[in-house]
A = this chain, B = another copy of it.
Amino acid sequence: MVFLTRRERFNAAHRLFKPEWTDTKNFEVFGKCSNPNWHGHNYELFITIKGEPNLETGFVINLKQLSRIVRNRIIEQADHKNLNLEVPFMKGKIPTSENIAIAVWDEIEEDIVNLNCKLHCVKVVETENNSVEYYGN
């Protein structure tokens, strides 16, 4: 088994808040991340695939194909967008890094499987100090 990781990036606005909660409660839980006027990040995604290298090509997965999946399914939806308002795969979810990682997994897993590969990990880096990894359930 070899694990191959591809990095892709997107820049997006978001806000952490629950519409059912008061502003005070939102601020108490989410702090300055609940600012109603939004803030944003340069997000990095690290998508890890596992598999046996193909005996003919030496590839676990063709990186062009993997990159195309991540760009079509994720980057084109999320780059220069508002994660709360207009990104289909985040609809109805609080855009924490945890929820982004799970949503990215759910969005790309089928396409990865269709290439006879296994999705191993989705890592979301929100800042140089904070990141999240999801390995499926």
Contacts and interface: CB of A to CB of B under 8 A. Distances in A.
Interface in A24-63: 29-33, 35, 37-42, 48, 53, 56-60, 62-63
A117 interface: no
A5 B121 CA distance: 14
Which bucket holds chain A's interface residue count? 35 or more
A47 to B, nearest CB: 11
A37 B60 CA distance: 25
B137 A1 contact: yes
A35 B132 contact: no
A8 to B, nearest CB: 8
A111 interface: no
A53 B105 CA distance: 15
Contacts of A16: 58
B57 A39 contact: no
A6 B129 contact: yes
Contacts of A128: 7, 9, 42
B96 A58 contact: yes
A112 interface: no
A16 B60 CA distance: 14
Contact of A7 (B18, B39, B129): B129
